Amino acid sequence: MALLDAETEHRTQGGPGLPQQRRLVTDLPGPRSAAILARKADAVPAGVGHTVPVAAVAAGGGVVVDADGNSLIDLGSGIAVTTVGNAHPKIAAAVAAQAAQFTHTCFMISPYESYIEVAEALNRLTPGDFAKKSALFNSGAEAVENAIKIARKHTGRQGVVAFDHGYHGRTNLTMALTAKSMPYKSGFGPFAPEVYRAPMSYPFRDGLTGPDAAERAISQMEKQIGAGNLAAIIIEPIQGEGGFIVPADGFLPALADWCRANGVVFIADEVQTGFARTGHMFASEIFGVVPDLITTAKGIAGGLPLAAVTGRAEIMDASHAGGLGGTYGGNPIACAAALAAIDVFENDGVIERAQQIGTILTERLTAMQSQDPRIGDVRGHGAMIAAEFVDPETNAPDAALTAAVAQAAIAQGVIVLTCGTYGNVIRFLPPLSIGDDLLIEGLDVVAEALAAA
Ligand code: PLZ
Residue ranges lining ligand 1, Cβ < 6 Å: 79, 139-141, 144, 167-170, 236, 240-241, 269, 271-272, 297
Convert the pLDDT of each residue in 344-378 to its tens digit: 999 999 999 999 999 999 999 999 999 999 999 99
The predicted structure's pLDDT at residue 377:
98
Calculate how far, in angstroms, residue 7's C-alpha sits from the geometric centre of ligand 1: 28
Residue 12 has pLDDT above 60, yes or no: no
Nearest ligand 1 atom, CA 307: 20
| Cα(245)–Cα(236) distance, integer angstroms | 9
pLDDT at 17 over 90: no
Nearest protein CA to atom 6 of ligand 1, as residue: 79
Identity (one letter) of the amino acid at 19?
P
Task: For 286-315, give one letter per residue: b (16+ CB within 10 A) or e.
Answer: bbebbbbbbbbbbbbbbbbbbbbbbbbeeb
The per-residue pLDDT for 299 is 98
Residue among 181, 241, 246 to mutate when testing ligand 1 (max atoms within 8 A of CB):
241
Give the Å distance between the CA of 188 and the centre of ligand 1.
17
pLDDT at residue 13 is higher than 80? no
Q: Indicate the top mutation candidate among 50, 180, 271, 418 to test ligand 1's pocket, ranked by most ligand atoms within 8 A of CB.
A: 271
Cis, bond preceding 29 (omega within 30 deg of 0): yes
Q: Give the DSSP letter of residue 319.
A: S
Q: Ligand 1 center to residue 296 CA distance, Å?
A: 10
DSSP 98: H
Q: What is the mean pLDDT of residues 333-345?
A: 98
Measured from the Cα of 305, ligand 1's closest atom is 20
The CA distance from 288 to 32, in Å, is: 50
What is the phi/psi pair of residue 207, to 5°?
Answer: 65, 10
Calculate how far, in angstroms, residue 100's C-alpha sits from the geometric centre of ligand 1.
30
State which of 167, 182, 244 you would mutate to test the pocket of ligand 1, scoring each by most atoms of that ligand within 8 A of its C-beta.
167
- Ligand 1 atom nearest 269 alpha carbon: 2
- Reported as a pLDDT band with limits 50, 70 and 90, residue 16 is low
Pairwise CA distance, residues 106 & 103, whole Å:
9
**DSSP for 321-334?**
TTSS--SSTT-HHH
Residue 235 contacts residue 162 (beta carbons within 8 Å): yes
Give Cα 149 to chain centroid, integer Å. 22
- Residue 11: is its pLDDT beyond 70? no
Helices 89-101, 332-347: inter-axial angle, 10-degree rounding: 150
pLDDT digits (tens, 9 = 90+) for 420-439: 999 999 999 999 999 999 99
Instruction: Quote the distance between the C-alpha of residue 215 and its chain's center.
Output: 27
User: 169: CA distance to ligand 1 center in Å?
Assistant: 5
Distance between Cα 104 and ligand 1 center (Å): 25
Query: What ligand 1 atom has the least distance to the C-alpha of 166?
Result: 2
CA of 79 from ligand 1 middle (Å) equals 8
In angstroms, the CA 329 to CA 296 distance is 13
Cβ distance 20 to 435 under 8 Å? yes
Whether pLDDT at 14 is above 80: no
CB atoms within 10 A of CB 389: 30
Question: Domains of the chain, with CATH numbers?
Answer: 6-87+350-452 (3.90.1150.10), 90-347 (3.40.640.10)
32-87 tens-digit pLDDT: 999 999 999 999 999 999 999 999 999 999 999 999 999 999 999 999 999 999 99
* Burial (Cβ within 10 Å: 0-12, 13-18, ≥19) of residue 19: exposed
> Side chain identity at 122, as an amino acid letter?
L
Which residue has a Cα nearest atom 19 of ligand 1?
140
Q: With 0-12 CB in 10 A as exposed, 13-18 as middle and 19+ as buried, what is 327?
A: exposed
Distance of CA 232 from the midpoint of ligand 1 (Å): 19
pLDDT for residue 1 is more than 60: no
3-state secondary structure of 134: strand
pLDDT at res. 15: 60
The number of residues in the chain equals 453
| Per-residue pLDDT tens over the stretch 256-296 | 999 999 999 999 999 999 999 999 999 999 999 999 999 99
First to last CA, the chain: 41
Phi and psi at residue 377, to the nearest 5°: -155, 140
**Closest ligand 1 atom, residue 140 Cα:** 19
* Alpha-helix residue ranges (DSSP H) falling in 251-312: 251-262
Structure confidence at residue 276 (pLDDT): 98
d(CA 100, CA 113): 16
- Strands (E) across 203-271 are located at 230-235, 265-269
Sign of the CA dihedral with 448 first, then 450, 451, and 453 last: positive
Residue 184 has a pLDDT of: 98
Over range 227-255, report the average pLDDT: 98
In testing the pocket of ligand 1, which one of 148, 165, 168 has its CB within 8 Å of the most ligand atoms?
168
CB 355 within 8 Å of CB 398: no
Mean pLDDT of 335-351: 97
User: Do 281 and 351 touch, CB atoms closer than 8 A?
Assistant: yes
If 0-12 CB within 10 Å is exposed, 13-18 middle and 19+ buried, where does residue 259 land? buried
**DSSP for residue 421:** T
Task: Please give the Cα distance from 424 to 406 (Å, whole number).
Answer: 10
Q: Among 15-29, 124-138, 221-235, 398-412, whose mean pLDDT is lowest?
A: 15-29
Which atom of ligand 1 sits closest to the CA of residue 142?
A: 22
Q: How far is the CA of 156 from the centre of ligand 1 (A)?
A: 27
Pick the residue whose CA is nearest to atom 1 on ligand 1: 168
Task: Give the distance (Å) from ligand 1 centre to CA of residue 191.
Answer: 18
Helix boundaries (H) for 168-209: 172-177, 203-206
Distance CA 409, CA 377 (A): 19
* Ligand 1 center–CA 373 separation, angstroms: 31
